[in-house]
Structure 1
């Protein structure tokens, strides 16, 4: 789909990749961006931005936003939560939060916005991660929740495609955001990742690898999934 003239919803829009996505959408001619965040006062101020208070774990709030934004033709599910802990050491509440945001919240957004996306022949974009393919032991719960979201993306694609909605999974590597502060790993600039995501949507790519690390690791996954699993397992050694 074309970004110019689009009407988008972006979750987690107050910082990091979400804020960069809002900025990139505006630069490419989006007519309106519903910038959704728990604190809408923190989103980018612009005449074409509509700040929206939204916690994706609040199902009633999700439904209210969907009822407000019925003109949406581009939904970018970007909100995410991550806790750093090996599987057996994970805090149960942290694990619940990861699944509530990264899987259940994402599902509720899709469920609520599916009628608008179908009516407007739009696009669904789920921002996932390379860890949806193979887990990183220090981020066990995050990896598992994103793997569930990846599976959901694949499961929804056939029906939504038949209804005229393109479905895109985004699988970035590390991004230079608050979530990875203190992590010693290659990190891409949020705006560069945002631009690559929009390029992928425009090109119609089902699987989008928006940075050099993800392009390399995505190719490895395609050719040898066990090799990617081994590479990420080494992160915990």
Structure 2
């Protein structure tokens, strides 16, 4: 492979935002996309790979150190390089007040949403930093619900705190690896199974943002992140002026 070829790894790729990202990237020229999922043989990925030979399903379970290392070894074997990680996998399984949220929910959310990304980065960083592009990127799909400076209450304390902790990892990556462009991206409140579940828990019929708009906005941020000046920051998938409490009307989001 070479700097003219861009190799992506997208985690949580068998549904929702992850599948949307892989589908959009698959149509790009000179691109190889590794779709990381607990079940890389999921029908959604099999169908996509049949249509786009540049898509490769790879088994990737968040929090599984040996499995993450094996996935990265498979990427190196097939493509020889890794240029962009879009760390999308995550869970949001509980809605309720802090006083009633079971400790087990905190552990589950932090294990996947925070420690899962630590393990992914530790497994992949050597190959990622060796990217022939000289501008490797690690993009964390975060959440506006993790922002303390633009706080909006959604009764998701386990999820929000785990994503806020994951955001901190982005700052650490930026400081420790000058060659790496690291960024957190708020994807919007999206019409996926997870997003709609949260919408129902907060009195809405469905989440307000379409999957297509979210994917387009996320990839625009990832594509633009070729300068170190954009690294170590929390970006909005798009500026929202809808006047709703969950809208964030700035490109850069307060941590």
TM-score range, shorter chain: 0.7 to 0.9
**Residues 73-222 of structure 1: matches in 2 within 5 Å?**
73-82=83-92, 83-120=94-131, 121=134, 122-134=136-148, 136-160=153-177, 162=178, 164-182=179-197, 183=199, 184=204, 186-204=207-225, 205-206=230-231, 207-213=234-240, 216-217=247-248, 219=250
- Deviation (angstroms), 1:198: 1.6
- Deviation (angstroms), 1:85: 2.4
CA contact (8 A) 1:127 1:171 kept: yes
Larger CA deviation: 181-190 vs 19-28: 181-190
Q: Once the two structures are superposed, what CA deviation does each residue of 1:27-77 show, in whole Å capped at 9, x if it has no partner?
A: 233521110111112223231111112211211101111222231111110
CA contact (8 A) 1:173 1:213 kept: no
The number of aligned residues is: 220
2-side partners of 1:29 and 1:144: how far apart?
A: 38
TM normalised by structure 2 equals: 0.78
Larger CA deviation: 11-20 vs 116-125: 116-125
Which one has the bigger helix percentage? 1
2-side partners of 1:147 and 1:218: how far apart?
A: 19
Structure 1: which 5+ runs fail to align? 229-237
2-side partners of 1:80 and 1:13: how far apart?
A: 11
Larger CA deviation: 69-78 vs 89-98: 89-98
Residues 118/96 of structure 1: CA separation in 2 closer, same or farther (3 Å cut): same
Task: Output the aligned Cα RMSD.
Answer: 2.5
TM normalised by structure 1 equals: 0.84
Structure 2: which 5+ runs fail to align? none
CA contact (8 A) 1:171 1:214 kept: no
